[in-house]
Amino acid sequence: MSEASEMLTMLADQAERLLDDHATWDHLKSLLESPGSFDDVLWRQCVELGWPAAAVTEAQGGLGLGLEALALLNEKLGARTVSLPLTPAAVIADAVARGIGDHPAVTALAAGEQISCLAFGEAGESGLPQNPTLRFAGGTLNGVKAIVPFAAIADVALCHASAEDGVALCLVMLDQPSVTREMIATIDNARAAATLSFAGAQAVRIDAGDGWDACLRAAAIASIATAFEQVGGTQNCLSLGVEYAKERIVFGQPIGRFQAVKHKLADIYTQLEIARGCAIDALAAAGRESAALPAMAAMARLGAIHAYEFAARETIQIFGGIGVTWEATPQHHYRRSRALALELGAAPFWRELLVDNVFKLAEAER
């Protein structure tokens, strides 16, 4: 086993132990009570363990374990429906390295001294608008980004905006007086979501003149990482369904003996493996700098959205009426599946992106 593989194995074991101790269902449900909720206690524990630095390169002050480490951690978090802003830090580090080489915010993010968010969505848009209403001119931002995950507690945001030469990928500090945030009640309040408004906020453009391409890459990396979070959630839905099907007795026998329940569990497993395969392929494409990365990321995104939503719905059906109550765990997975399905752009955007890049995908497979 290579040194990198050993470190990833140790990271997985570490994550299992920490989440087993901290991420109880009662605790997670308490985070759903108020808009803008965030598990600051768990975040501080993760910072001490170096999780924010896992996917950041050593040259940027990180551990240099790559996107594989981020995928592994996100899968563990997704299984427990835990929300931590690990993905934005990795995406920002990658974008900065490719655009301007270095920025002090990356070091702070890797150390866990600051928290970041990805602000790509806008009101009335189902995906990433190619002509954002947010404007970048003269080093400042003006406009609004709608319902940004982790924006309620973030120190820095990565966003895209319209500029004179097209699209600009920008890094903006959120502690400025010209930045305001409004916490929003959502179906999953544990995502610490808020709307960001900019009125002449100072920002740094970090793309190298290829703003839209840089934005697509950032969204692709984020979607792959999120796909593993959704895969983790889907896996846990399957585990919950199997366990309940063995324990719930109806007409003198476990409901797992009924063909209808068996079919539901088998269908969840099928969708899980499709999503997992797409996510693994997309992760490999990112690692080898494939031209087909947008298409592979789109497939991972679409597969994971469908699998997690399907699994969450079917697990509720397996549990029956209690599945939608506050006391049962499947409803928490349903909330998270809906939240993750809309962040980073909904399925229609990614379908169009896949179609637009299908020829690049075909060339990469030759």
Q: Where are the domains of the chain?
A: 3-110, 116-208, 212-365
- Over the chain, what is the mean pLDDT? 93
195 versus 329: the higher-pLDDT residue is 195
Confidence of residue 324 (pLDDT cuts 50, 70, 90): confident
Amino acid identity of residue 157, one-letter, is A
Written as one string, the DSSP assignment of 254-292 is: EGGGSHHHHHHHHHHHHHHHHHHHHHHHHHHHHHTT-TT
pLDDT for residue 325: 85
CATH of the domain spanning 3-110: 1.10.540.10
Residue 147 zone, left/alpha/beta (φ > 0; ψ -120 to 50; rest): left
pLDDT for residue 1: 54
User: d(Cα 272, Cα 184) in Å, to the nearest integer?
Assistant: 31
Q: Write the pLDDT tens digit of every residue in 194-230.
A: 999 999 999 999 998 888 999 999 999 999 999 999 9
- E strand or H helix at 143, and its extent? strand 140-148
Cα–Cα distances (Å) from 28 to 81, 189, 203, 329, 337, in that order, read: 8, 10, 35, 10, 15
CATH of the domain spanning 212-365: 1.20.140.10
φ, ψ for residue 100, nearest 5 deg: -115, 0
Q: What contacts 48, CB < 8 A, 6 or more positions away?
A: none
Confidence of residue 290 (pLDDT cuts 50, 70, 90): confident
226 versus 3: the higher-pLDDT residue is 226
Q: Write the pLDDT tens digit of every residue in 20-64.
A: 998 888 888 899 888 999 999 999 999 999 999 999 999 999 999
Q: Is the pTM of this model over 0.85?
A: yes
Mean pLDDT, rounded, for 162-184: 95
User: d(Cα 310, Cα 98) in Å, to the nearest integer?
Assistant: 37
Give the closest residue to 203 by CA, choosing from 143, 148, 268: 143
Same fold: 116-208 with 212-365: no
116-208: what fold? Butyryl-CoA Dehydrogenase, subunit A; domain 2 (2.40.110)
Q: Is the pLDDT of residue 363 over 80?
A: no
Q: Is the pLDDT of residue 7 over 90?
A: no
User: d(Cα 349, Cα 362) in Å, to the nearest integer?
Assistant: 20
Confidence of residue 329 (pLDDT cuts 50, 70, 90): confident
Q: Is the pLDDT of residue 364 over 70?
A: no
